[in-house]
Structure 1
Amino acid sequence: MRFLLGLTRVKELSILLVTIVVGIYFTATSSAFNSIDNYQTIAQYVAPWAIVAAGEVMLLICGEIDLSAGFVFTLAPFVLMLFYVNGAPMVVAVLGAILVSTLIGTVNGLIRTVLTLPSFITTLGMAFLLQGLVLIISNARPVSVPTGHGILEVFGGARWSEFLWALVIVAIMQTLLSATRFGIYTQAAGGNPVAAAESGIRVNRIKVVNFAITSTLAGLAGILQGTRVDSYDPTNGGFTLMFFAVASAVIGGTALLGGSGTVIGALLGALLLGIVFDGFNLTGVSANAFNVVLGAAILVAMILNVSLIVLRKRLGARGLS
């Protein structure tokens, strides 16, 4: 029974098992699934979702959400181009675009905490504002990625660089969440904000920092993705990207009501979605069915998370913890 309790405490276990089962299923039903090229295709789906989800996990844990992250993802490459065409070196252009992304998140956080507007409304308004800016800056047209810059090989140009960025970011963010004081404060801010504030935790500051982190990661992901496909597209990202990131976080075990979550779980959630999306393409299943699977996965994940919480409490009450 102690072993059972230990398993229930591994938040990523259920999503890991489901991901493995789904991978085995598509391996058996499609001969093209197990190939290096197809693994790269899956990685290309997973990387941007996982990077943005790493930030959304932190926000969801502290009881907030960022609906504008998908449009920061869209905007960042065009900000990069603005710096570049106005004479900035490519390194400065990349760093400048990421800094602008950070500032957008900081503004979101300050509006949320200083003006006490709900994050849903704050970031929804910011999303539409950024969408308009993207269309104005780009003239609603995609632009080609500048060539001859080695720095862009690092930021998405090399074959596996985007996915490697995703793995590194997930590792850093999981460490930040589980092994630092900031991570503990983030969980406290979402689990019981009143008690956290009374214990001396600056809840508002924690939230502002997490908004800034989420936008920073979204901007970085947008640059990586656009550079990989060799085009900065004003229709890329948006609400679709944001919802996939949030879905990855929720499927991976992050509570929508705050207080608990796992960045590794979000990566596994993104991997599961990527495998299903890719598997559907390989087996000829209509892409429309993917939304059915996505919706069902979110519902099952939420039900499973609640069930595991109840099971942990029952086993702990029996003196097994």
Structure 2
Amino acid sequence: MATNTLIGSLVRIRELSILLVTIACAGYFALTSTGFTSLDNGHTIAQYIAPWAIVGAGEAMLLICGEIDLSAGFVFTLAPFVLVLLNNNGLPLFVALLATVVICALIGTVNGLIRTLFNLPSFITTLGMAFLLQGLSLIISNGSPVPAPADTWVRTTFGGARWSELTWALVIIAVMQIVLSASRFGIYTQATGSNPVGAAESGIRTSRVKVVNFAVTSALAGFGGILEGMRVGSFDPTNGGFNTMFFGVAAAVIGGTALLGGSGTVVGALLGALLLGIVYDGFNLTGVNANAFNVVLGVAILVAMFLNTYLSVLRRRASAVRGRT
């Protein structure tokens, strides 16, 4: 009985499988490569996972409520150039940063309104927005990188310091997880994804929930793009895009978020990004061809989907057993 209780408790931990795989991968690369456990390499891994985790946090919320945003990577690209444009036109850097995040949120709001008012699939809506934003980024930047603003406290705080990008990522993950698991909006988000008709009939404004999550996703993506550009010291119109968006979605899915909505966690997205960062860095250290990473990514997503489905069945069985007892 005690064993069954323990197994049932472990099964209910959504992030257990991805956590075990992440620990196993870290242990493997620690044993097979030189320098994997060094502080400098830890900082390298942090540079990989921070933007993926930030974008993944927003994508996780959207996926949980049954939607997806393919334009988040291009909001990531566009935001730094909007920041420079506002700053060059007289706004103080910090005010320009806040205004840029608001503009990014408005882009997400437009996505959400198109999705809910015209009932267009979010895949199509955000795909069109992605190409629109890509064009705007190229026009504003003239297709060339732009130096990040001078080294002020704003740049140091928002990405310029050694660990500031990762710190912001962890703060965002913590806040979004609290919103998801301990707020009424989080409950509404999960209800909207799991049973939209039932949620609407119970009084939840599902359209508003979706619009807000689109806005939050774009705001986080834009903020992540600014952090990344401040860290690198240059704003590049080729940074972000579909690559960053797909890594964010992959992190959320690998971390246990269901593609069809209704379940998932933001912490899972962080663990998914951590696993991807560890594998990517480990491949570089061990000399494995970088192209093989895409193979591993594809396998990881398929395995994650299988495990999520299997664990969901086990959770339902465990709940049924508790109900009978």
Same-fold call, TM cutoff 0.5: yes
Query: Which residue matches 2:146?
Result: 143
Contact 1:51 1:217 in 2 (8 A): yes
* Residues 1-321 of structure 1 mapped to structure 2, 5 A cutoff: 1-319=4-322
User: Aligned equivalents of 2:68 and 2:171: distance in 1?
Assistant: 23
1:54-75 deviation line (CA, Å, top 9, x unaligned): 0000000000000000000000
Alignment RMSD? 0.9
Q: What is the deviation of 1:311?
A: 1.4
User: Aligned equivalents of 1:143 and 1:217: distance in 2?
Assistant: 21
Q: What is the deviation of 1:93?
A: 1.2
Q: What is the deviation of 1:85?
A: 1.0
User: Aligned equivalents of 2:221 and 2:231: distance in 1?
Assistant: 15
Contact 1:59 1:210 in 2 (8 A): yes
User: Aligned equivalents of 1:10 and 1:294: distance in 2?
Assistant: 23
Q: Which runs of 5+ in 1 are unaligned?
A: none
TM-score (norm 1): 0.99
Deviating beyond 4 angstroms after TM superposition, the runs of 4 or more aligned structure 1 residues are none
Corresponding residue SS for 1:318: helix
User: Aligned equivalents of 1:235 and 1:57: distance in 2?
Assistant: 24
1:206-260 deviation line (CA, Å, top 9, x unaligned): 0000000000000000000001000000000000000000000000000000000
Q: What amino acid does structure 1 have at the position aligned with 2:40?
A: D
User: Aligned equivalents of 2:151 and 2:315: distance in 1?
Assistant: 55
1:151-196 deviation line (CA, Å, top 9, x unaligned): 1111101010000000000000000000000000000000000000
Percent identity among equivalent residues?
70
Corresponding residue SS for 2:110: helix
Q: What is the deviation of 1:148?
A: 3.5
Contact 1:90 1:149 in 2 (8 A): no
User: Aligned equivalents of 2:175 and 2:317: distance in 1?
Assistant: 33
TM-score (norm 2): 0.97
Pairs aligned (count):
321
User: Aligned equivalents of 1:317 and 1:255: distance in 2?
Assistant: 21
User: Aligned equivalents of 1:316 and 1:70: distance in 2?
Assistant: 39
User: Aligned equivalents of 1:151 and 1:75: distance in 2?
Assistant: 19
Contact 2:34 2:285 in 1 (8 A): no
